[in-house]
Structure 1
Amino acid sequence: MIPLFPNEQMDIYTLQNNGYDYYGEKNEYVYSQTVEVDMQPYSPSSSLREFGKMLEDTYIVIFDINIEISDTDQLVVNNIKYEIVGSVETWNHGVLPHKEMLIQRLRKGE
């Protein structure tokens, strides 16, 4: 059961290590799954309060507690890549257990 109102589909790409080459680890993102999420803009006042600066293109994402996701995963919503800011929080108390995370538009490697 997803809390609140799912309004987006998010593709999750998991980071996998493919051995080593001359430069070090060979990491690659591999498609994992597509999930329904509730994605809302993160307010500038919340950003200033929690991080001490304004984070641009930042969203709070709420999704089902049973979805496995890591803070190294890369996310794609509407063909736009996002990265996770901080860590994924699990809220398993109350009426609607769920997970929450902050995501920010990925600017590098676009």
Structure 2
Amino acid sequence: MLPLGPAFGALVVQSGLDWWWAGLSAALIYGGSFEFLLIGMVTAAAPLASIAVAAFLVQARHVFYAPGRASASCGSSSSCTCTGPAARPQEPCSAPSSRTVSPDWTSP
């Protein structure tokens, strides 16, 4: 299995862009899928407005992740302490809940 970093670097070079495009996009763009899309748009000389709209649409999918994570990890209590990238509670919520959450963060 080829890691995505070297594959992305090879795509940048094969697309005719300079090697530093790979590092620049990795430093400025949070989202690997958009990095791959951006290379195609840059080589096709897409207008900046089209690139901005595409970036918004690709990254907008993350909005739908947050509500599910918050309700699964903290229940109805607002005093729950949730930290880390997976928003897993570090201590139990102060209001007991009859709802349990399975270890893989899906519905019980």
User: TM (normalized to structure 1)?
Assistant: 0.19
Greater fraction strand? 1
Higher helix share: 2
- Structure with higher Rg: it is 2
Q: Given the two structures, how large is their TM-score scaled by the length of structure 2?
A: 0.19
